[in-house]
Amino acid sequence: MREERFDVIVVGLGAMGAAALYQLAKDGAKAVGIDRYVPPHVQGSSHGDTRVTRLAVGEGPAYIPLVRRSHLIWRELEAQSGEDLFEQCGVLVMTSSGAPTLHHGVADFTARTTELARQHGIAHEVLTASQIRMRFPQFGPIRDDAIGYFEPEGGFVRPERCIAAQLNAARELGAVLVTDATVRSIRSEGATVRIKAGDRAFVADKVIVCAGMWSASLLGEPFSTLLKVCRQKLFWFKLEAPSIFPEDSPSFILTHGPSETDACYGFPPIPGEGSMKIATEQYSGLHSLDALDRNVSEAEAEEMFRSHVLGQIAGVTSDLVKASVCAYTVTPDHNFIIDEHPTLANVTVVSACSGHGFKHSAAIGEAVAQRCLRGQSQIDLSAFSLRRFF
């Protein structure tokens, strides 16, 4: 079989891979991106219309340069593509619980977010329950002791559009896209890496693997031990007519009880759609990817409405407009892994981006492209190294 030669191969063209391929092509590398489907698609972790973005990333300060840089890259891509990618509608983080809370593995998420904003000079307002009710009547039912954090520079990004914009730009800059081709093997031999995908063979100096929920099966140990894939459900509930839930609302994260399951997040209604998207985070892992049930049942929709909308959010009915299943790929500490593969030389692994990766993806793509082409990145990625687990 004739081998096709490139400087860099990107495996997986979802959030991380599309960003990496775009940045490699922009930097003049001869790059190819390979995906088992035709991205953007609904089989992985990057679909469902919207993703929350915020600068004060309560998951930790190492993320802040990534999200800041990503916001700039989304704007650059908007100017190039003419697409709306980043809606800066603000983000409202609220805790409305009488007991200590846990969210994304972080205790007291609202307080942590506020503290980070103060430390890093991020514009924000701290709101009392009555201020939240006055400005955002859709959260009228919150407890009297609730606290809120409002960040005007946050909002949401459109994942499918971001991926498409970066892949189109990459193609225009000379990158090759190979879709409907599953990478079956990755072999390091001296200074090169060989890949087989579908009925084609590729060879390159460097490979970046961004395989999302398929990372463990493609990469083996230690990823199969470290990564857990968790089924997530997204719900769009119809708004009341007339509704007090306005289209110019911020994205929101609401923790309304002590356990990790007492939290939800959601988005302003997309103009003209008449519905509000809301979701929770689930951390029970699948025993195999074949066990991923891609259908949302009526009972699951009822449970979602009863536990997270009723008595928490006003202006929304229990009528389900649509639903979708997506997957998180989670590490034991909920933080990313962006590092060299420990046994495959010249292979960088980028994909265990848990439930909070999209907002950082544009800058992660840029940083890994810099690492591949120049040996180091402008943004420090050391917090995401594999070594922290050993």
Ligand X SMILES: Cc1cc2nc3c(=O)[nH]c(=O)nc-3n(C[C@H](O)[C@H](O)[C@H](O)COP(=O)(O)OP(=O)(O)OC[C@H]3O[C@@H](n4cnc5c(N)ncnc54)[C@H](O)[C@@H]3O)c2cc1C
By CB under 6 A, tell whether 105 contacts ligand X: no
Q: Which stretch binds ligand X (CB under 6 A): 30-38, 83-91, 110-118, 305-313?
A: 30-38
Residue 66: both structure tokens together: 């990534």
Burial class (CB in 10 A: 0-12, 13-18, 19+), 185: exposed
From residue 153 to residue 192, the character string flagging contacts with ligand X as x (rule: CB under 6 A) and all else as - is -----------------------------xx---------
Options 10, 26, 32, 35; binder of ligand X; rule CB under 6 A: 35
Query: What is the CB-side half-sphere exposure of residue 318 using CA atoms within 13 A?
Result: 13
Q: Which amino acid is at 376?
A: Q
Options 116, 169, 278, 327; binder of ligand X; rule CB under 6 A: 327
CB of 46 to ligand X, least distance (A): 3
> Measured at CB, which residue is nearest to ligand X?
14
Task: Identify whether the C-beta of residue 169 lies closer than 8 Å to the C-beta of residue 73.
Answer: no
By CB under 6 A, tell whether 216 contacts ligand X: no
Give the total of residues touching ligand X (CB under 6 A): 40
Residue 2: both structure tokens together: 């004739």
Helix (H, G, I), strand (E, B) or coil at 99: coil
Q: Is the peptide bond before 268 cis (omega within 30 degrees of 0)?
A: no
From residue 240 to residue 269, the character string flagging contacts with ligand X as x (rule: CB under 6 A) and all else as - is ------------------------------
From residue 4 to residue 23, the character string flagging contacts with ligand X as x (rule: CB under 6 A) and all else as - is -------xxxxxxx------
CB of 272 to ligand X, least distance (A): 22
CB atoms within 10 A of CB 352: 28
Interacting residues with ligand X between 359 and 378 (CB under 6 A): 359
By CB under 6 A, tell whether 44 contacts ligand X: yes
By CB under 6 A, tell whether 283 contacts ligand X: no
Tokens 């994909």 found at: 351
By CB under 6 A, tell whether 218 contacts ligand X: yes
Burial class (CB in 10 A: 0-12, 13-18, 19+), 335: buried
> For the CA atoms of 177, 354, 160, 324, what is the dihedral angle to 10 degrees?
120
Task: Identify whether the C-beta of residue 16 lies closer than 8 Å to the C-beta of residue 350.
Answer: yes
Q: What is the binding site for ligand X (CB under 6 A)?
A: 11-17, 34-37, 39, 43-46, 48, 51-52, 182-183, 210-214, 218, 232, 234, 279, 326-328, 351, 353, 355-359
